[in-house]
Chains A and B, each alone.
Chain A
């Protein structure tokens, strides 16, 4: 149980175009999902917290107009990279939160999406 999927797993796009990445919780409902970014040989950095039915909360330094997040249902959150540039090339990972353990909010992670902007 608690499987999270991402689509696509790999995307290449031209500079200036927009790219949408989907994150789905397959066998559970997630009112909260998270989007992370991972540069090569670096740690995962939290970009934003996505809440179903409300606006996302962005971490300091993350451009909300560039990284649009929509959490339209309890099983789907999308991240749209608008007007992508080569510096946006990265590995994007989502996670979905559950409350199976009352002690803490456990996150289940998707497999990630590798974005390459040419």
Chain B
């Protein structure tokens, strides 16, 4: 399978704990995106990388959120001191520089109890 993969698929954590998600993009894609989706809503943009550079961050991305893509391949999204409002599906997508089409992974569903 050469699509976008995300790990874990599901995460349940207690409020106040830190969590980290991983995304592996399609291998030849140099752009990588993180989105958050709550039930019944469309995905909301969080941040994106071109290679290892983080080029844009949404105002939704509070100080508790940090994303990295250290070698321009996989990326991690960390949420510190999780809150119940962080419960959502976290989606990763990737694209090439040739076209705009973003391919999404299956997402990581986070539940904060």
Same assembly: no
Give residues in A with beta carbon < 8 Å to B.
none
Give residues in B with beta carbon < 8 Å to A.
none
